[in-house]
Amino acid sequence: MKIKTLKIFTSQLQSQINFYNKNLQLPLIKETSTSAQFKIGDSILILEYKANATPYHFAINIPPHKESEALEWLNRRAAILEDNGKKIIDFKSWNAHSIYFYDNDKNIVELISRNNINDERKEKFRENQFLNISEIGLAVSDIEKTVFEINNIKKMKIFDGDYDKFCALGDENGLLILVDKNKKDWFPEDGRAVSSDFELSGDISFEFTDGHVYGSC
């Protein structure tokens, strides 16, 4: 799956614009009084103002074997989240390493280096090595029901997990990360999973609203 655009909501738009443009140095490609768009590799992140916005979890692919350089680069720009004292998390079953950090909305953002992706870079890591938005989290009350809603729009394979607490749909270029919000929080630390509305377009296009999926392929 490829994520072309991801629209999330923020209650403090200017603060988020400053974070993504000044801290992470991402290109601001469009700005209005109520929204902003940032280029993240092959994807576009849209931030739109909403007074009662709640936090998200999403991930950005970076080239394989760049996690240590990415951590060094990110340490000066964001608050790194740790798991048992570790800033780089080794996901052996996914052949990947991740770094987690907060943006100014306390969204949990993840930089993930997937070793199965063929995109080796010799130059030192910087913001132009963000490849694409590769994950968005859906906190739901019934994973199996939500998977059924998604498959009514487009059939998607389970990448990992099951219908109990956690289920990832898609592939390494794009994953929908479903968690049962009554059983599991976002990883790591205290990232409570809440059903935050968003809109996604790409190989599949849909809105996630009030804990349900609506859309068309």
* Residue-range domain boundaries for the chain: 3-216
Q: Which CATH number fits domain 3-216: 3.20.20.70, 3.10.180.10, 3.40.50.720, 3.30.160.60?
A: 3.10.180.10
Residue ranges of the chain whose pLDDT lies below 70: 190-191, 216-217
pLDDT of 25 reads 97
pTM (2 d.p.): 0.96
pLDDT of 119 reads 87
Residues sharing a CB contact under 8 Å with residue 213, sequence separation 6 or more, in sequence order: 138, 146, 149, 150, 153, 206, 207
pLDDT of 190 reads 66
CB distance 203 to 175 below 8 Å: no
The values of phi and psi at residue 193, to 5°, are -80, 120
pLDDT of 217 reads 53
Distance (Å, whole) CA 109 – CA 6:
13
pLDDT of 216 reads 64
One-letter amino acid identity for 114? R
Distance (Å, whole) CA 35 – CA 31:
6
- How would you classify the pairing of strands 158-161 and 166-171? antiparallel
